[in-house]
Chain A
Amino acid sequence: MAFSFVGILAVVLEFFRGWLWVLVPLVILDLVLLGLFFKRTVGRRRKFSLPFKSSLGFGVFTFVMALITLPGITRSSWEMLSGAVDYLALIGASVGFGVLFAILSFPVMLHLVGIGAKVKPEQQATRQTPPPAQKDSPTEPQGTAEPQQSQG
């Protein structure tokens, strides 16, 4: 029985239909957190490297936990696994969970470790200094919000 790509997507959609009550609020919460992050960081440094690494760590932790617990969660056990198919499926599913949780945790990590110190006005001015060829052209003084947003 062949399954088309659209058919597989339809099955996946049906599978998650029962989990939408959890997934939709989570995604909305993440989007709100993401929006809030950009709002909170107006006039501040935004750090992406540390939140990314933290989320990655969280994803790796989830991957390892999934690897250990998935057979039990599915009412099976490690002893029941046999052959490359089972192990590859387990690894694949665990990677999936790891990626999912890494993505979901990223906005939270942004808030926890992604907000830097306030940017001093002189630093902003230095950053906004036009290239030498245009140095003579008049530069209008800018507010703090504008340049920060352009860096986002």
Chain B
Amino acid sequence: MSQKDKHIQSAVQRALGNEGLSRRDFLRLSGGGALLAGAASSGLLYPGAARAVPTNARIVIVGAGAAGLSCATRLSRELDGAQITLIDRREEHYYQPGFTLVGTGVWGVAKTTDKNSRYIPSGVSWIQDMVAEYDPDNNRVITDDGRTVEYDYLMVATGLQINYTDIEGMSTDLIGQRGVGCVYDRPDHAQRTWGVIDHFVDNGGVGLFTRPPGAIKCAGAPLKVTMLTESRMKERGTRDRAEMHYLPPGAGLFSQPDADDFLSKHFPERGIEIHWDHPLRAIDPDAKTATFATPLGDETLDYDFIHVVPPMSAPDSLRESELAAQEAPFQGWLEVDRHTLQHNRYPNVFGAGDINGVPIGKTAASVKSQVPVAVENMIQAIQGRENSARYDGYTSCPLITELGKAILVEFDYDLNMKPSFPFISPYEEHWVPWVMKDRLLLAAYRAMLRGRI
């Protein structure tokens, strides 16, 4: 050891001695610190910024659903100095993938309700209002109460709106009454739906299960509600009391061809009659009849229970703005490049989640895959770099076929199966995907909101 090293060592020991620490204590604390630093840098304890990009950009995120919150978490972690504003009036956060389980009595409603404030990172401003108008030419949005919020970069993550009034005679007040159910949109809708399904399961009758034309969120939900209701009847020994009909708007049940083949055979095997090309046009809750606009004209059917799934669209404020695609097939939805999720005409605008005008993927699993891409490309835009992240259309549906088993269907834009776990066959019913849906996916969802996956 050189004289200089000895000098340094004695100085360190003197400093430790002044703090009342021995050399052994110091090493012990250093080891603990290294472990904590490792855990922290991996994002497990605190997903802090490892290499935050310095910027003073003003970023506005519209929507505090799954996509909006995940974007807020990631952007606040990966940017240093950005002024991030989140706009959404709603205080509650809904775990929407759980609504089919609430609507069929598997889960209690409390499991799907949370608070947005639990997931909004510190340093992100939250404006509790809704965007009424987008003005992308002037880089600003205007809220319901007339407040103008300017931005340098905009992340649109509004989710979609459910157009109940597109079905003549339908309103949200009807849900849970006179045999009308709808598990979408709100936990209380799902809870009220369980009330009427429970009654139908006990008493039987004619059950109609509908699905609207066009893009909808969680396209597997109408199928799951049908199969879980049938499963409930078998469980209670009342299956022979009911006649069950599934009425899709076209000639397919599911966008992925293998899953479509399976379901097209599986439904008739379970005594669920499929009526192709039957989009629901109107219901008469007093007479308990539903009218379908078939290619051969209107057809009216009686029902004792009907699961109504209304058509869905982008929220009006977005649909009527310059940000919406002007032409089919995604007219009215946010006009983004399907791979980069950057707006085609406004390069400082990005989209994540259900609002995006992309071929498939209005699911929480799609959000999980889209958010890192949209965020990374936005950050690269802030840095003036060419964007490099790509979304391949990944989406997933744990298709519950019965209480206790499911098929884990995962696919991409090309409709090719993309199993996350190669040992779980996407072509067969298993217990493992059921356990994942029932027990694990909520934890994965929360980890996603916290930006950890």
Contact = CB atoms under 8 A, between A and B. Distances in A.
Contact of A7 (B365, B440, B447): B447
Interface of A: 1-4, 6-7, 9-15, 17, 71, 74-77, 80-83, 85-86, 89-90
Nearest to B439: A74
A1 B394 contact: yes
A7 B444 CA distance: 9
Contacts of B335: none
Given A1-B396, A14-B446, A15-B443, A86 B430 contact: yes
B171 interface: no
Which of B43, B394, B396, B418 is packed against the most chain A CB atoms within 10 Å?
B43
Contacts of A15: 439-440, 443
Interface in B257-301: none
A1 B410 contact: yes
A16 to B, nearest CB: 8
A89 B405 CA distance: 14
A11 B43 CA distance: 12
A11 B430 contact: no
Interface residues of B, number: 36
B368 A1 contact: yes
A11 B428 contact: no
B431 A89 contact: yes
B431 A7 contact: no
Given A11-B443, A71-B404, 20 more contacts: A1-B369, A1-B396, A6-B42, A7-B453, A10-B450, A11-B440, A13-B44, A14-B444, A14-B450, A71-B431, A75-B106, A75-B404, A76-B403, A76-B405, A80-B404, A80-B405, A82-B431, A83-B425, A83-B430, A85-B423
B430 A14 contact: no
* Top 10 A-B pairs, shortest CB-CB distance: A76-B404, A10-B452, A14-B443, A15-B443, A80-B404, A7-B453, A10-B447, A86-B431, A80-B405, A14-B446
B404 A82 contact: no
A13 to B, nearest CB: 7
A2 B403 CA distance: 27
A14 B453 CA distance: 11
A80 B404 CA distance: 6
B29 interface: no
Given A83-B425, A85-B430, A10 B453 contact: yes
B393 to A, nearest CB: 11
A79 to B, nearest CB: 8
A3 B410 CA distance: 14
Interface in B426-448: 428-432, 434-435, 438-440, 443-444, 446-447
